[in-house]
Amino acid sequence: MISIVGVLGPEGTFSERAAKMRYPQGELRYYQDIEDVLLAVEQEKVDLGVVPLENSLEGAVGMTLDALLDLRVTIVGEVTIAVRHCLIGLGTGDIKVILSHPQALAQCRRYIKRHHPKAELRTTGSTSHAARLAQEFPEMAAIAGAEAAPCYGLEVLEKNIQDSDQNATRFAMVGRNIPGPTGRDKTSLAIYLERTRPGALWEILGEFAKRSINLTRIESRPSKKGIGDYYFFIDLEGHILDESVGEALSKIEEMAALVKVLGSYPRD
């Protein structure tokens, strides 16, 4: 039974919304950033954590991928929600500073350029943290969800300012133990090839292809060991206990320097 769920705080984040959708009876515990949420999971301070994994406009959330790679936690579920950003503030002064999470600022790039080209942009740990800061000065505004405005005594100055109406974010439910297969699962992997030889990535992808395993996402992320050195993050359909997936992973482990299963979980 899920009783305590860690989310990005303070109150009013999209992470909070995702957690309430999936765990309406859960007690929420708020953390300053993504790594803090996942550390709380690893240290058993919460039963689960809910963190953003990827956005339809801006792609993967790097901080989440890094933490999943480094910590002893696993993705146990996912949920995708539509994201509608608003500009919120006190509404009593000219806007000189716009605050938000880096992903939110990026998702509203065109709006900011068109309507507030001279505004200073400041990044925060979450959209609701931006909202809390915006209540301090009339010349500040935050990009956040509409539900954050009443939490901090702010007004919604403009709605739906994201660059696309198709804006959506996929959130990962993160725990400590991989759930069993359901027949409709997804597995997330991190693979490190160590200065890849020609064709190494093709050989790895071929192990999935020859077993008709569908890949739903593949992308690279710098290993931080040097230019041109990458981790590859792959999502595929199936569970690690499925025979075909297990066979593919066994073969890949012989070729790669590192293979880490980030999660094997029911698809949303």
Residue-wise pLDDT tens digits, 183-237: 999 999 999 987 667 788 899 999 999 999 999 999 999 888 888 788 999 999 9
Distance CA 96, CA 150 (A): 22
Q: Are 77 and 176 in contact (CB under 8 A)?
A: no
Tell me what pLDDT residue 196 has: 61
- Token readout for 213 is 């395993």
Strand partners for 69: none
Residue-wise pLDDT tens digits, 34-51: 999 999 999 999 999 999
Instruction: Give the other-Cβ count within 10 Å of 84's Cβ.
Output: 15
Contacts of 43 (CB under 8 A, 6+ apart): none
Residue-wise pLDDT tens digits, 71-82: 999 999 999 999
171 assigned to active site: yes
Distance CA 201, CA 124 (A): 36
**Rounded average pLDDT over 55-60:** 91
13 assigned to active site: no
Tell me what pLDDT residue 225 has: 83
> Contacts from 250-254 at CB under 8 Å and sequence distance 24+?
251/207, 252/191, 252/204, 252/207
- Give the chain's domains with CATH numbers: 4-82+167-175 (3.40.190.10), 86-158 (3.40.190.10), 185-266 (3.30.70.260)
Contacts of 245 (CB under 8 A, 6+ apart): 187, 211, 213, 236, 238, 239
Residue-wise pLDDT tens digits, 132-181: 999 999 999 999 999 999 999 999 999 999 999 899 999 999 999 999 99
Catalytic residue among 14, 171, 208, 233: 171
Tell me what pLDDT residue 195 has: 64
Distance CA 169, CA 268 (A): 12
Ramachandran area for residue 165 (φ above 0: left; ψ -120 to 50: alpha; else beta): alpha
Catalytic residue among 13, 64, 74, 169: 169
Q: Which regions of the chain does DSSP assign to beta strands (E)? A: 4-8, 27-31, 48-55, 59-60, 74-82, 86-89, 97-100, 120-123, 140-144, 155-158, 168-175, 185-192, 215-222, 230-237, 258-266
